[in-house]
Structure 1
Amino acid sequence: MPRRSPLALLPEAAPAPDAEVLRLAEALIFAASRPVESAALAARLPAGSDVEAVLAELRRIYLPRGINLVRVAGGYVFRTAPDLAAALRGDAPEPRKLSRAAIETLAIVAYHQPVTRAEIEEIRGVSTSKGSLDLLLETGWVRLRGRRRTPGRPVTYGTTPAFLEHFGLDAVSDLPGLDELKGLGLMDGRLPAGFSIPMPSDATALHLDEEPLAEGPDED
């Protein structure tokens, strides 16, 4: 009985996605104003298309180019290659600068969401001006989530998909943890004993201690 070649035992390579399917997926992602989720892409591609294979092939094709296909905010979008950022600096519109108070507030919302204004002030140790939260709401990086099921029913805050897009995150859980922040030199090495950073979550579903916003979003 003839011996079979070891190569015959290897699984066959998956066929490359059809060129026209690749072109259509490329056009859909390019034309979209927001990151395109896999499910939305599958609904627009021919029936039976392997969406993950299409995305993988597009990532491979664009990897050495001036723009790359990246995953942010749960979807896919074309972005300038990171190594070209310095060469393009000055061409993009200058983003609105945030005050230190607004930056601190944004960080607290990102890591502690859902969080109320009173909780933000407790963490910061100072009063939070209404202007800081208003600015973050205006930029579209922070949203009103719901109301806490506690006396006074204070409004809770959380981040938005626009926040993820701006900072190139697929999910809030991709934010750096304490060890990473220390490694980047962003945290003082002399931290209080027991100091920790919570594991952030951007789950859209309301928590058990929250309820939907019913009427006008009154401040707490």
Structure 2
Amino acid sequence: MARRPRPPEPFDTELAHLPPELRWREWMGRVEAVIFAAPAPVTREVLARVVGRDCSIDLLIDDIRAELRGRPYELVAVAGGWQHRTKKGFAEAIQVATGLGTNDPKPLSKSEQLVLLAIAYFQPITRGELGQFFGKEISRDTIGHLRGLDFIAAGPRSPVPGAPYTYVTTKGFLSFFGFDTLRDLPDMEALEDAGLLSKERLLAGDFPALGGDGIGDEGEPLDPEEVFGE
């Protein structure tokens, strides 16, 4: 009679047989390995599957970050999780060596940046409301481009006649701009002081023209970080 295969041993998260220091080092290794292998930011809930019930993930992350100081990559909090990212100072070296980044989408134009900025701060918002802000209709092409980049998505329908869809930012937006949550967006007052955004003027439909079309010059693309900052 054939012997039945043994069931796999349950994954040991507690590591009670190890002394505290070795247990902590093993948890650190597990957490860093999971984050390193994942193609997207890893949430706290996922990391909790590989460590003990009483383990502080925040303290583990702090210790991993401390060990990475001086390395060309770092562990960042982004889009509700953590991700390994190379430091910006090494971007050119990576591009020269591997070609990575040479085919990245071109930077957003001024008008696209401003539309994205308005959606980020005033979401959920309809295309009609965006048009009121900027004094002209926002093209479906602009909305489609931002959706294609996974910066925005359809939100709940607006409670106005016709129930148009609203637009909201996505996790892809948070990840691209390096935000953990929307609470990390630059302070509205700081943007006003920099002359980049005025909530009162936007809501009044009085937005300063930045180009020939009233909402930006399509011929002069900008790096999105010039609007959202680092």
Query: TM-score by structure 1 length?
Result: 0.72
Alignment-mate amino acid for residue 129 of structure 1: S
**Superposition map of 1:95-174 within 5 A:** 95-97=104-106, 98-174=108-184
| 1:78 and 2:88 are equivalent in the alignment | no
2:41 touches 2:82 (CA, 8 Å); kept in 1?
yes
SS at the partner of 2:104? coil
Q: What is the percentage of aligned positions where both structures have the same residue?
A: 30
Alignment-mate amino acid for residue 181 of structure 1: L
RMSD: 2.7
Alignment-mate amino acid for residue 40 of structure 2: R
**Superposed CA offset, 1:71-90 (max 9, x none):** 01111011112443454455
1:178 touches 1:196 (CA, 8 Å); kept in 2?
no
Give the Cα–Cα distance (whole angstroms) in 1 for the partners of residues 151 and 169 of structure 2: 6
**Superposed CA offset, 1:3-41 (max 9, x none):** xxxxxxxxxxx9686222211111100111111111210
**Paired residues, what number?**
180
Give the Cα–Cα distance (whole angstroms) in 2 for the partners of residues 141 and 52 of structure 1: 28
Give the Cα–Cα distance (whole angstroms) in 2 for the partners of residues 16 and 83 of structure 1: 34
Runs of 4+ in 1 over 6 A off after TM superposition: none
Give the Cα–Cα distance (whole angstroms) in 2 for the partners of residues 174 and 85 of structure 1: 24
Task: State the 1:166 CA deviation.
Answer: 0.4
Partner of residue 52, structure 1: 58
2:124 touches 2:155 (CA, 8 Å); kept in 1?
yes
Alignment-mate amino acid for residue 59 of structure 2: A
Give the Cα–Cα distance (whole angstroms) in 2 for the partners of residues 17 and 84 of structure 1: 34
Give the Cα–Cα distance (whole angstroms) in 2 for the partners of residues 46 and 86 of structure 1: 40
Give the Cα–Cα distance (whole angstroms) in 1 for the partners of residues 34 and 177 of structure 2: 23
Partner of residue 206, structure 2: none
**Alignment gaps of 5+ in structure 2:** 1-19, 204-230
Partner of residue 65, structure 1: 71
Query: TM-score by structure 2 length?
Result: 0.69
1:145 touches 1:156 (CA, 8 Å); kept in 2?
yes
Task: State the 1:149 CA deviation.
Answer: 1.6
SS at the partner of 1:18? helix
